[in-house]
Amino acid sequence: APQTKDELIRELHLQRAVEEEEKAKKKREEERLLEEQKAKKAALTATKISINRQI
């Protein structure tokens, strides 16, 4: 279907908004994984410290 200039512009904006949202979602997921990794590392460190205290 032939599109008007306005429709094309609206479609482009929509597409860009979707891409931005996906980028933001990906970033949030990466940050979540990073936090998870930090928490695991901290837990591991705490475990090592308590083991060393018992020796």
* pTM of model > 0.85: no
Element (H, E) at 44: helix 5-54
As given in the structure block, the two tokens for residue 43 are 């837990």
In tens, the pLDDT along 13-38 reads 999 999 999 999 999 999 999 999 99
Is 90 exceeded by the pLDDT of residue 55? no
φ, ψ for residue 7 (rounded to 5)? -65, -40
In tens, the pLDDT along 1-11 reads 678 999 999 99
With a CB cutoff of 8 Å and minimum separation 6, the contacts of 3 are: 11
Contact between residue 3 and residue 11 where contact means Cβ atoms under 8 Å apart: yes
Look at 6-10, 43-47, 51-55 and tell me which has the smallest mean pLDDT.
51-55
